[in-house]
Amino acid sequence: MVENSLSPAAITDNLETRFIGQRVIYYPRLTSTMDAAKREAQQGATEGTVVIAEEQTAGKGRIKRAWLSPKGSIALSIILYPSSAYLSSLIMVASLAVVHCVEKVTDLKSQIKWPNDVLVSGKKVCGILIESDVRGNRVDHAIIGIGINVNLRLSDFPEISPTATSLSHELGRDVSRLALIRCLLAETERLYLALPTGESVYQEWWDNLVTLGKKVRVSSGEATYKGIAESVASDGSLLLRQSDGSLTKIVAGDVTLRE
Ligand code: BTN
C-alpha cells in the first residue's frame, strides 16, 4: 500500500543521516518551498533543514520558469551552508542523488540532461533548482530544490505531457514518495559529505550526462548556441564545440537535444 500523505515524523523516523532531514517543515500547500527555505535560512535554520510541500501553488523552475507541482509529486528544499569551493558541485550532488534513488526505489534507469534535469525514457521526471546567497567569498546559504513527478497522471497535465513523464506513468503503478524522499535525504547527505574527500562526484555526474556527444541547441540569456556538447568542466559548465571549431563555455542555460 502506497502512503497518501507525508508527515515529518514518518520522514525523520530512524532516518540514517547526521543532519539532512533531521528537521522537516511540512506544508500541505505552499507557494514555493524555495521561498520558505530561504526565510528559514535567513533566520539561521540548522543545516539540513528540509521544507516540504504536498502541493505548491507557485513552484519555481530554473530561468524564472514556473514549476508544476500538484499533489502526488515531490517538492522539497534542503538548506545547506557549504563553503564556496563546493557551491558549483551541489548541482552534481542533487542530480546524482535523484538518479541513485529513482533506481533504488523503482528500478527505473534515469539520465541527467545538463545541467540537472533528470530524464526517464528521454522525458523529464525531475527538475532541480539551486539558489544561493553569496556575500563576497562567503556562502550565506544554499538551497537545493528538488521537484519530482512521482504519482501524476499525465493526461491530467497536457501542458507538460509532450516533454515530461512521471514515475507512476513509467511503471504503471504508484510509487512510495516516502521511500523516495528518505532515500534522497540520505543520498544527498552522503554525496555532499564526500565532496571534501575528493571522491569524484564530478566524474560520476559526467558519466550520467545524456547530453555529451550530442548535437544540441543551448539558450543562455539572450544568446542561442548550436554545436556538439563536448564535455563539462569541474565547475559544472558545458563546453560546446561550434561548427566553426570554437569551444564555448556555457555556465547556465537550457539545452535542447537535436537529431
Ligand atoms: C527546473 O527544472 O526548472 C527546476 C524545477 C525545480 C522545482 C523544485 S520543486 C521544489 C522546489 N520548490 C520550487 O519552487 N522549486 C523547486
Of 29, 57, 60, which is best to mutate to test ligand 1, by the most ligand atoms within 8 angstroms of its C-beta? 60
Fold of 215-257: SH3 type barrels. (2.30.30)
The residue whose C-alpha atom lies closest to atom 15 belonging to ligand 1 is 60
**Where does the chain hold its CATH 3.30.930.10 domain(s)?**
8-207
pLDDT tens column, 192-251:
999 998 778 999 999 999 999 999 999 988 889 999 999 999 999 999 999 999 999 999
Neighbours of 222 (CB within 10 A): 5
All three cell numbers of 54: 504536498
Task: Point out the ligand 1 atom lying closest to the alpha carbon of residue 53.
Answer: 10
DSSP character string of 148-182: E--S--GGG-TTTTTTB--HHHHHTS---HHHHHH
* pLDDT tens column, 32-56: 999 999 999 999 999 999 999 999 9
| Tens-digit pLDDT profile for residues 50-104 | 999 999 999 999 988 899 999 999 999 999 999 999 999 999 999 999 999 999 9
Q: For domain 8-207, which CATH number applies: 3.30.930.10, 1.10.3720.10, 3.30.1330.50, 3.90.1150.10?
A: 3.30.930.10
Asked whether 50 lines ligand 1 (CB < 6 A), one says: no
Residue 10: burial class (beta carbons within 10 Å; 0-12, 13-18, 19+)? middle
Residue appearing with cell numbers 532516518? 15
Residue nearest (by alpha carbon) to ligand 1 atom 10: 75
Q: What is the pLDDT of residue 10?
A: 94
Q: List, by residue range, all CATH 2.30.30.100 domains of the chain.
A: 215-257
Q: Which of 14, 26, 22, 34 is nearest to 141 (CA)?
A: 34
Amino acid at 93: V
Which residue among 34, 51, 90 is best mutated to probe the pocket of ligand 1, counting the most ligand atoms within 8 A of its Cβ?
34
Q: How far apart are CA 259 and CA 247, in angstroms?
A: 20
* pLDDT at residue 1 tops 60: no
The CA–CA distances, whole Å, from 96 to 124, 187, 208, 226, 250 equal 15, 9, 8, 26, 21
pLDDT at 258 over 80: no
